[in-house]
Amino acid sequence: MTLDEARADLEAMFLSGPSTKCYKAMTGEHYVEVVSGGVKEEGERYPILCATPELAVSYWFTAAVEYAMNVSMDYYLTQNDPIFDHDRYKRHGFTLYWRIVPELDEVTLVLADCPVREKVWMQRKFWYVYSRFLVSKKPQTQQAMSA
């Protein structure tokens, strides 16, 4: 799965909300950083770096879907909706708000394999996907809509 395909699959599960350029979405809630391997708190290191771009996309997509499921879990525990499919998020009014759409980034790490004086180093490339978005059932606030 490519990053564009993963993004399209995620977007297809939700209603689409407007983006903002500030730290809060139109609902007044903070955006969440979702990266390859899970949700990342501000200032935390990335949970994983992947050996291939494909693996990074796969781990990001899994993390994004798990985040959405966790957000909606409390709501679904109170509902009588026996149908578990991707359209259920739309049926119940969950909206996806992008702040930063997923982007595939590459990092090169230098691994020292011996004392510095011998200068035998290995470089290795790794990949991760970074995104910042929110999944919410809350309505847009008047303040946010007028801003």
Measured between alpha carbons, how far apart are the two ends of the chain, in Å? 37
Distances (CA, A) of 136 to 15, 18, 51, 99, 114: 10, 12, 32, 13, 50
The amino acid occupying position 81 is: D
Domain ranges for the chain: 3-139
* 98 bridge partner residues: 133
Query: How many other C-beta atoms can be found within 10 angstroms of the C-beta atom of residue 99?
Result: 19
10-residue mean pLDDT profile of the chain (147 residues): values are: 96 92 91 95 87 98 92 72 66 90 93 66 89 93 58
Given this model, what pLDDT does residue 114 score?
63
